[in-house]
Amino acid sequence: MKILVLNGPNLNLLGKREPGLYGTQGLDEIMSSMQAAAEQMGVQLDCFQSNEEGALVSRIGEASGTYDGVIFNPAAYTHTSIALRDALLAVDLPCVEVHLSNTHRREEFRHTSLTAPACVGQIMGFGGKGYVLALEGLVEYLQSMKED
């Protein structure tokens, strides 16, 4: 099983960026925890971060036929990007959306996700642990699809 992990804008600044909100773990540390969990499950991960919407759209578009699913933290693009939503729908791969914070406890403009309707699930509010939870959920989802 092969899963693409995508991270959107400013997530490269984790650990320094608003640690009271996002925690002190850097993105590399979060991805390392995720890689360790994936190895125990026998899953291969490819991780990619970009501050550029087009680069994320391109990676999603290239995912079909290579990956079994996607785990995606679109960050601020969650609330603005129709292009990312359309890309997720176009590749027809199961995707789990992840957010470090609970966006519903934040500013009103963060309450709407344009990308979530293109996903099979959404995990938020558990910090870096949310990525591992997303991985566990997506792997179980993919296994159940193979059984059907």
Question: What is the model's pLDDT at position 52?
Answer: 97
In whole angstroms, what is the distance from residue 41 CA to residue 108 CA? 37
User: Which residues have a Cβ under 8 Å from the Cβ of 41 and sit 6 or more positions away?
Assistant: 1, 135, 136, 139
What is the pLDDT averaged over residues 68-87? 94
Q: What is the pLDDT of residues 102-147, one digit of tens each?
A: 676 666 766 678 999 999 999 999 889 999 999 999 999 999 988 8
Active site residue 67: no
Q: Which residue ranges form the domains of the chain, and what is each CATH number?
A: 2-143 (3.40.50.9100)
Active site residue 131: no
Cα-to-chain-centroid distance, residue 129: 12
Catalytic residue among 67, 77, 99, 131: 99
What is the pLDDT averaged over residues 51-57? 97
